[in-house]
Structure formats: C-alpha cells, structure tokens
Amino acid sequence: GSGKSTLCKILQGILTPPKTATTRILGHPCGSQEACRAISYCADNDHLPQFLTGAEFISYCLSLRSPAPLKNRDLREATADIFERLGMAGRHNDLMESYSHGMLKKAQIAAALLAHSPVIISDESLNGIDIEAQMTIEDALLDHIRQGGTQIICSHDFAMLDRCATHVAMLDYGNLVEFSTVDQLRARHATIRDLIVGYMGLEGDGDGRD
C-alpha cells in the first residue's frame, strides 16, 4: 500500500500522474512513445503470454523496445546463452505455460537485459528466483548500471537493495518520506533495513539491532 506498483504504472504511462507531478523518462513525458521505448518493465506477477515460447516472448519484447534489434541468428544465440546463464538451459524453446513462477520471472529479466533498455523497472521481480540465478541477475543489473543504465527496483528485499542500489526512496501511502544515497546511509552506519525499521518505530525488534 505504499505506492510502489502505482509509481511503476505511472512511469509507464498506464496511470495518469497527480496534477502536481511532472514525470519524465530520459526527458520524455511518461507514456509517450519515446519514453515507453526506453523502458523494460519486469512485473510482479505471472501474467505473461503463455502461448509463446521463451524465445518468442523475448523476440516480441525486443521488437517493441530495442532501438537496434539483434539479427535473428544473433538473437537466437543470445537468448540461448542468457537462459543457460540463468539456469534454464534449453528451455527457451519451450512454451511459457510450462515455466515455473521463478522461470517466468527470469524470462522477464532476460528480455530486459537483451533489449539493452536505458531504464529497467523491476517490481518485486526477483521473488521466487533461486539463489544462483539471483546472483547472476544482480551482477548483470550492476553491469547495466556501470554502462550508464538506470534501474528502478521496487522491493522489500533489503539485503539485495543494499548490494545493488545506489539510491533509496522510501514511500509511505504515496508520499516520499526519505531519499538518500546508499553511501549516505552507510556514513550514518545504517542499512536500508535500519532506515525502514527506524521509520516504523520497530527498533529493538529482537534481531539484535539497536
């Protein structure tokens, strides 16, 4: 109820932002063709076209988002490679209806990474993913940032955010109550979890923190 998923939908132009807000992606109004082409969105649900194979899903996503689509042969090789890296070797040619919850999540991440979108929005998209694949995805997301990309990750996984995030924005019923860099938090000898727990007044909740 904090407004994370609503924010994701506003950034995609699915929902209209408040009249007092200005929302842009790379300088373009959210919902415009230019803004939508710049975004890859990884949803928090399994509502994906299960009548497609994983490879067909990725090809479709890239046709919508990538300014310079890979050639068919290169895309087939890249798709097979990223599926193998994510622990799904050989499954890219299987129908998505046969995928588990975690595999559907990984297929979304694979499409976002192959599209090389400037902005990747992830709404709890690492939930249900095995540890080995999560580490591979985190490395890929960090590499995307190092290459100049932007990640917007909506998550309650504070440990993952501490590893991957450069900035943290905390929402409470749609209001921005904290915006800090992770380095600023560390300078205060705090973690993202400390920030959340402190805001909620739950210090000393039995886990040894004070």
Q: CB–CB of 151/141 below 8 Å?
A: yes
- Taking the alpha carbons at both ends of the chain, their separation in whole angstroms is 27
**pTM for this model (two decimals):** 0.80
d(CA 196, CA 178): 10
| pLDDT on residue 116 | 84
Angle between helices 101-115 and 72-85 (to 10 degrees): 130
**172: β partners:** 175
8 Å CB contact between 171 and 3: yes
DSSP tag of 25:
E
Tokens encoding 109? 């991440």
The answer to whether the CB of 173 falls within 8 A of the CB of 162 is no
Q: What is the mean pLDDT of each run of 10 residues along the chain (210 residues)?
A: 83 87 90 89 82 93 68 84 91 94 88 88 77 84 88 85 87 86 86 84 54
Place of tokens 């890219």: 92
Backbone angles phi, psi at 85, to 5 degrees: -60, -30
CA distance 49 to 56: 10
Please answer whether residues 137 and 126 qualify as being in contact, where contact means their C-beta atoms are separated by less than 8 angstroms.
Answer: yes
Rounded Cα distance, 160 and 155, in Å: 9
Q: What is the pLDDT of residue 58?
A: 92
**CA neighbor of 82 nearest in space, from 127, 115, 124, 39:** 115
Question: What DSSP assignment string belongs to 140-207?
Answer: HHHHHHHTT-EEEEE-S-HHHHHHH-SEEEEEETTEEEEEEEHHHHHHTT--HHHHHHHHTT--SSSS
Burial group, residue 168, by CB count within 10 angstroms (0-12, 13-18, 19+): buried
pLDDT number for residue 206: 46
